[in-house]
Amino acid sequence: MQLDKYLNNNFHNLKLRPPLFYNWVFGIRFELGDPNEVKRNPHMKRVYFRAITLFKELHSTEDEIMIVANVHHSGEENILKRRRVKIYQHYLKSKDILPRLQHQITPYVFEDIYDIYDFETHRYSLQCQVKDIKFIQLVKAICNHDMGIKPKIFHDVFFVNLSNKTIFHIYDDRGCDVIATSKEHIRPLYNRYNDWILDHDRATIDKVFQ
């Protein structure tokens, strides 16, 4: 399945870039890390627990998903040989599905925000089932983005669930966004993990679900 076609049919006019929550009507923003926790180990223990719990709740092992990574390059960098993003090498249970990897070059996804016009976004998408990926290791690596912990993944990675029509994005150790084509698709998350919702956006989220 082509990613652009799927997004156009199900998430019309959505730009696949952070912050997803502020750019879609049906969504939840969850807090992962404790902003009052200064010690890295206890902080990351909570981050990992919440991120993995939410991922498991949202994705069943048989779900068809697309793992999408946005990689940004300047014009000068594009003369270099392009290489596959590491998540498609280190976080798959079998490399047999790598031939499914799709690569698309688009204008820089933040062009209209930062007025930067000499960058472009390389979008890598891989369709598979949840059971095909080492999702616990992958989720932890995404959470390590800004923490100086290895392994880490610097790029924005989106889990587009084709089966339940949701998109899951961990923006860093602070939190994650979940959006859906219908609020009913994510109402169980809203009910079960309500105390994990980011207080800053709670009023907006409650208005949607109540």
Alpha carbons 24 and 22: distance in angstroms, whole number: 6
Give Cα 24 distance to the centre of its chain: 14
Q: Which residue's structure tokens are 């010690």?
A: 39
| 143-158 confidence digits (pLDDT tens) | 998 888 899 998 999 9
Alpha carbons 8 and 146: distance in angstroms, whole number: 32
| 84-122 confidence digits (pLDDT tens) | 677 888 999 999 999 999 999 999 999 998 887 888 999
Domain range spanning residue 122? Answer: 3-209
Residue 145 DSSP code: T
pTM of the model: 0.93
Total of domains in the chain: 1
